């Protein structure tokens, strides 16, 4: 039993059916109207019938003229005339049979197929007998019905996928709000005022990068971290890493960033012991921490694969972080580095998402050298202007290349 599909408005199944199974564009970029006209089967058959009729008419006229000639063999001429008339009758009958059983049914099928091709999804080809053409039309109807049913089922599946995608997107957006809520923007604003900026660019709505801030009296701890992965998996790692760092700060305080890194490494290894048994799951974390003593005007830095940069607009300096990430395959050791806080310098911590970003004319990574050149040119500017300038420079460098990883830059100045 075949069920003709319902018409639909807008972008429903009928519209898609017409777009998918409509006439194909001619090859070579030529428009269909540019093709030379081709005679239809009905026109060719009519032309042949006319030519045959003229020939038979000529034979009849010739036979009649022979009968009018004196002394002609009348019996043979009458036989020829009768046979010619018989051919005329057979030709007329053949024409009627072929026209009614072949030519007209084919023309009707062409018209109905053209209507279906023009998005008429409410009808099928008409079947009026049980001959070969009707069986061909019946087979076409079966294929057409199955295609319509498949399109309707596909449309239903597409709606289900759209709804599932909407729910996933809503959940990820909510996760992004939750991740944003743990970031210490308010504490940074209260401590540094206008003398800091954060450029936080997750590759997806949520990401594996985050930044840290803790304050105790005249001292504070700030830093950036890059957990393995990005998207939802990276965001889940940031929650675990944040808990591990908070616990480490409670145990060892903020006096030594290196001690915090070592304690966090131990805590994360214990927490992720089961996950680390599977080598297919990445659980490492790059992190750079600075402890600022505003009274003594000193900075203490320790990093796990993240370095500290600072510049006065003329020279560029860098303290390289230690080579082992937190929760790496091998246990690393971390070192504190003390330097004076200079009021004419701007300090920067960045995750490797910026340095590894592809772009430029050749699609190479940005690299630390190009990043240092940017910082020298920006170090004297107000921090908010630096943030916008770095964002614009990154966008221009990236061009048409996609963002490869989460990007986070923390910058501050002592005044």
pLDDT value at residue 24: 47
Asked if residues 145 and 2 have their Cβ atoms less than 8 Å apart, the reply is: yes
Radius of gyration of the chain from its Cα atoms, rounded to whole angstroms = 42
Mean pLDDT in residue range 81-96 = 82
Distances in Å between the alpha carbon of 142 and those of 1, 4, 22, 149? 9, 10, 18, 11
Question: What's the pLDDT tens digit per position in 21-49?
Answer: 444 444 444 444 455 666 666 677 778 87
**More confident of the two residues 66 and 311:** 311
Give the span between the Cα atoms of 351 and 406, in whole angstroms.
8
Report which secondary-structure segment, H or E, holds 318.
strand 316-319
Task: Calculate the average pLDDT of the chain.
Answer: 84
Mean pLDDT in residue range 48-74 = 76
Mean pLDDT in residue range 97-119 = 80
pLDDT value at residue 37: 65
Strand partners, 209: 226
pTM of the predicted structure, to 2 decimals: 0.68
pLDDT value at residue 197: 97
Residue whose tokens read 């750079």: 288
What six digits make up the tokens of 6? 């319902």
Q: What are phi and psi of 304, to 5 degrees?
A: -110, 90
Question: What's the pLDDT tens digit per position in 157-173?
Answer: 999 999 999 998 898 88
Give the span between the Cα atoms of 146 and 142, in whole angstroms.
6
pLDDT value at residue 6: 41
pLDDT at 9 over 70: no
Give the span between the Cα atoms of 200 and 308, in whole angstroms.
17
**More confident of the two residues 110 and 328:** 328
Question: How does residue 18 score in pLDDT terms, banded at 50, 70 and 90?
Answer: very low
Question: What's the pLDDT tens digit per position in 270-315?
Answer: 888 755 555 556 788 999 999 999 999 999 999 999 999 999 999 9
Question: What's the pLDDT tens digit per position in 180-220?
Answer: 988 999 999 999 999 999 999 999 989 999 999 999 888 99
Nearest alpha-carbon partner for 316 in 307, 325, 328: 307
pLDDT value at residue 134: 82
pLDDT value at residue 22: 45
């Amino acid at each position: 039993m075949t069920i003709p599909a319902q018409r639909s408005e807008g972008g429903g199944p009928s519209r898609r059916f017409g777009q998918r199974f409509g006439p194909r564009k001619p090859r070579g970029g030529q428009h269909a109207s540019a093709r030379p006209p081709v005679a239809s089967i009905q026109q060719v058959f009519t032309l042949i019938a006319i030519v045959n009729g003229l020939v038979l008419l000529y034979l009849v006229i010739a036979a009649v003229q022979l009968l009018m000639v004196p002394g002609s063999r009348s019996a043979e001429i009458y036989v020829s005339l009768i046979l010619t008339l018989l051919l005329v009758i057979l030709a007329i009958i053949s024409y009627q049979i072929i026209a009614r059983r072949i030519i007209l049914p084919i023309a009707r099928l062409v018209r109905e197929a053209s209507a279906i091709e023009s998005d008429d999804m409410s009808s099928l080809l008409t079947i009026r007998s049980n001959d070969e053409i009707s069986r061909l039309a019946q087979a076409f109807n079966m294929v057409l019905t199955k295609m319509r049913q498949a399109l309707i089922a596909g449309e239903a599946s597409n709606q289900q996928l759209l709804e599932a995608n909407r729910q996933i997107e809503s959940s990820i957006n909510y996760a992004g709000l939750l991740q944003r809520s743990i970031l210490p923007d308010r504490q940074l604003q209260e401590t540094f005022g206008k003398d800091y900026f954060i450029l936080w660019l997750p590759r997806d709505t949520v990401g594996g990068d985050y930044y840290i801030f803790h304050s105790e009296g005249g001292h504070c701890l700030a830093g950036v971290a890059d957990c393995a992965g990005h998207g939802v998996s990276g965001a889940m790692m940031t929650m675990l890493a944040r808990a591990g760092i908070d616990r480490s700060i409670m145990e060892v305080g903020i006096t030594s960033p290196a001690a915090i890194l070592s304690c966090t490494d131990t805590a994360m290894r214990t927490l992720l012991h089961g996950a680390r048994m599977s080598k297919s799951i990445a659980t490492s974390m790059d992190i750079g921490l600075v402890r600022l003593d505003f009274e003594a005007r000193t900075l203490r830095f320790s990093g796990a694969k993240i370095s500290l940069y600072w510049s006065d607009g003329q020279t560029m300096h860098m303290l390289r972080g230690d080579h082992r990430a937190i929760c790496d395959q091998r246990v690393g050791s971390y070192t504190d580095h003390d330097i004076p806080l200079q009021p004419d310098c701007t300090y920067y911590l960045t995750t490797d998402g910026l340095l590894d970003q592809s772009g430029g004319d050749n699609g190479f990574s940005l690299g630390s050298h190009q990043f240092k050149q940017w910082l020298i040119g920006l170090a004297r500017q107000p921090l908010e202007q630096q943030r916008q300038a770095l964002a614009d420079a990154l966008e221009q460098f990236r061009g048409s290349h996609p963002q490869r990883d989460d990007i986070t830059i923390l910058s501050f100045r002592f005044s």
